Structure 1
Amino acid sequence: MPRPRPGDTGVARLLVAVGTDKHPFDRLVGWLEEWHRTVADDVGPTVQHGHTRAPRMPGAVAFLGHDELQTAMAEADLVVCHGGPATILEARRHGHLPIVVPRDPTRGEHVDDHQLLFARRLGTAGMVALAETREALFEALTAGVADPSRFAVAADPDASETRRAAVERVGRIVEELVAASAGRRRARWRPWARPGRNGERR
């Protein structure tokens, strides 16, 4: 169900998080700008764009501190994010089925294809709403604005005790996926490396 709030105006609260990776993610920002023009009166966005150019729409912010990101996720009706494992886990912890647009290394959006491989695996398992194309993203966003409950899962706000083990398991999955990718060198993903400003382990 949509999260209740005092004086609800019926405007859907959208959080977009691209993480802290230094590669630009102009593809996602461009898609969001195009989609938002058609729903500007119905959506209140917050777009954490990181090192990507600021989108030409309200709510653009380069980075969010850890506490700010947690608050934004808790208050959002819908979450769109890149394929960063930590961001996906946090979104689900706050009760969201995140709409995930993974970064594509062939477009200069990341150094390898671990986001693509990981997001596709979670998409197949029904743990994220995978949106690899403009059309898929628009369809998911339009459906989510009409009925946010379609992109809700059971929240687990007290999961901090088990989060470390979950992230470590995710790290092993990512390593296995990248190692299995043809012609790729085995990735060394360190889930407990020092986090960036959004708490993201890139």
Structure 2
Amino acid sequence: MTAKNYDLVVSLGTDYHHFDRLVSWVDAYLAEHPDVSCLVQHGFTAAPQQAEAVERISRAELLELYRAAKVVLVQGGPGSILDAREVGAIPLAVPRRTELDEVVDNHQVEFSRVMEEHGETIVVTSAEDLARRLDAALANPESLQGTLRVPGNNEAADKLSDQLSTLEQQHPSFIRRARQIVSGLRNK
């Protein structure tokens, strides 16, 4: 894939569940804003009609696209949000929902909420909310730029593990997913 700067980069991740809801929201926004350049990494979901699309992309390429984009929009999964934060982007996040058959459990809802409480993401809840937030972010892209989040793997795993201990009783499905991430960080 050739390097190109986009106004908006969207990543749905690689989960096998479809995420048509988010693609339709992005398509609706772009239909009203044809001047906004957009790339959507759509995975198993059907490609958008109003944006450039790629099914899969390497993590390194995706991080470069995030770094250059004015706005990053991701599914609410831990990997997606943390990847955006790694390059300093504060992503807009739409959590997949189990009741819409977009994921196996609601860990993304819980994780996104916790990350929003810590200023690490902005949760989007509807097409109207997305349009409002995209308008604001594209008018002032600096508002979604934060500090880089690139601690060493072991340091990140230790910090996350400490946080998990305090959240375990309140958010069991979030904790299960987060512990998988901690294990993955330690194995890199």
* Bucket of the pairwise TM-score, normalised by the shorter protein: 0.7 to 0.9
Partner of 2:38: 45
Q: Is the 8 A contact 1:114 1:177 kept in 2?
A: no
Number of equivalenced pairs: 179
TM-score by length of 2: 0.82
RCO comparison, higher one (Cα < 8 Å, 6+): 1
Shift of 1:12: 5.7
Mark the runs of 5 or more structure 1 residues left unpaired by the alignment.
1-10, 195-202
State the partner residue of 1:3: none
More helix by share: 2
1:96 is matched with: 89
Q: Give the TM-score normalised by the residue count of structure 1.
A: 0.77
Please give the alpha-carbon distance, in whole angstroms, between the structure 2 residues aligned to 1:171 and 1:135: 36
**The residue matched to 1:81 in structure 2 has which SS?**
strand
- The one-letter amino acid paired with 2:152 is T
Output the CA distance in 1 between the equivalents of 2:174 and 2:88.
Answer: 35
Task: Tell me which of 176, 182, 188 is aligned to 1:187.
Answer: 176
8 A Cα contact 1:100 1:130, kept in partner: yes
- The answer to whether 1:153 aligns with 2:146 is yes
The aligned residue for residue 118 of structure 1 is 111
More displaced stretch, 118-127 vs 136-145: 118-127
CA change 1:14–1:112 in 2 (3 A) is same
Percent identical among aligned pairs is: 31
1:21 to 11, 15, 27: 15
**Deviation for aligned residue 1:13:** 1.7
Task: Tell me how far apart the structure 2 counterparts of residues 108 and 180 of structure 1 sit (CA, whole Å).
Answer: 24
Residue of structure 1 aligned with 2:28, choices 13, 31, 34: 34
